[in-house]
Amino acid sequence: MVTYSIVFFSDKLYVYTLPQKFKKKKEIMKKKINLNCFTGAILDVDGTLLDSMPIWYDAGARVLTALGVTPEPGLGDLLFNMTLDQSSSYLKTHYHLTLSIEEIQQAILDEIAAFYRNTAPLKPGALAFVRTLSAQMPLAVASVGDRTLIRAAFSRLNILDCFSAVLTDQDPEIRAGKSSPKIFLATADALHSKPASTLVVEDNLTAVTTAHTAGFPTLAVYDPANREDWPEIARIADTAVPSFEALTLA
């Protein structure tokens, strides 16, 4: 039997790679999680298993650089909350690009696809975590990303065979983001696992809140993209850690 000893961080305990304002010397409380309590696990991809959030900030700048255009400081923050149509229109108008909107959109998508196929790395400790879990229970992905790119990245990283299913918000039975529990419930069904015994591993406040409210035990893993939400994420999640490296086998 394998038991995970997980370093538990309350909403007042932040160490390791968290922002400086969260770094405080406090007593570390350890919490043990017996993997035999779970009959399946649902894992997020972007910001959780893959250190992939930077590409969503950098894709526009990469397109401009490839065209010989210098991007403005803070462009990634500006484009991050835009749709593909909005960001493409902004790049064309602001930088007076001769490419059509459709060509700019395709260039952005090509940059993102190349990153997943060739570069996107696992977050520290994620490989050992995934392999340990997959030896104990069936795993599935629940993502709002592109299934083809997820599978390509996982195949390159030699973890694709650890997952029995990859579900996304675009699947016909889901058609909803992570503000709805549909994606988690459908993924649990694919695992033949009930919510109460299905571990959900996430990095995002909306996803953690939705899964927790739907009755799933939740493990939150810190990602810099969600630094402002981390106190609330850590408060809501059953367990919150700064990285997979903070999980120790016992």
89-101 pLDDT per residue, tens? 999 999 999 999 9
The answer on 99 and 42 residing in a single domain is no
Q: How confident is the model at residue 15 (pLDDT cuts 50, 70, 90)?
A: very low
Which string of DSSP letters, residue by residue, matches the chain?
A: --EEEEEE--TT-B-TTS-GGGB---PPEEEEEEGGG-SEEEE--BTTTB--HHHHHHHHHHHHHHTT-PPPTTHHHHHHTS-HHHHHHHHHHHTT-SS-HHHHHHHHHHHHHHHHHHTPPBPTTHHHHHHHHHHHS-EEEEESS-HHHHHHHHHHTT-GGG-SEEEETTSTTT---TTSTHHHHHHHHHTT--GGGEEEEE--HHHHHHHHHTT--EEEE--GGGGGGHHHHHHHSSEEES-GGGEEE-
Kindly tell me if the per-residue pLDDT of 141 is higher than 70: yes
Give the tens place of pLDDT for each residue, 57-96. 899 999 999 999 999 999 998 998 888 899 999 999 999 9
In this prediction, residue 32 carries a pLDDT of: 56
What CATH number corresponds to the domain at position 47?
A: 3.40.50.1000
Question: Between these two residues, 2 and 229, which has the higher pLDDT value?
Answer: 229
Give the tens place of pLDDT for each residue, 168-191. 998 998 989 999 999 999 999 999
The answer on 200 and 104 residing in a single domain is no
**Mean of pLDDT values over 144-157:** 96
The answer on 92 and 203 residing in a single domain is no
pTM of the entire predicted model: 0.83
Last residue of a domain, one of 66, 96, 118: 118
Last residue of a domain, one of 118, 135, 161: 118
The total number of structural domains in the chain stands at 2
The answer on 244 and 208 residing in a single domain is yes
Q: What is the mean pLDDT of the chain?
A: 86
The answer on 94 and 70 residing in a single domain is yes
The answer on 59 and 19 residing in a single domain is no
**What is the span of the domain harbouring residue 65?**
53-118
The answer on 91 and 64 residing in a single domain is yes
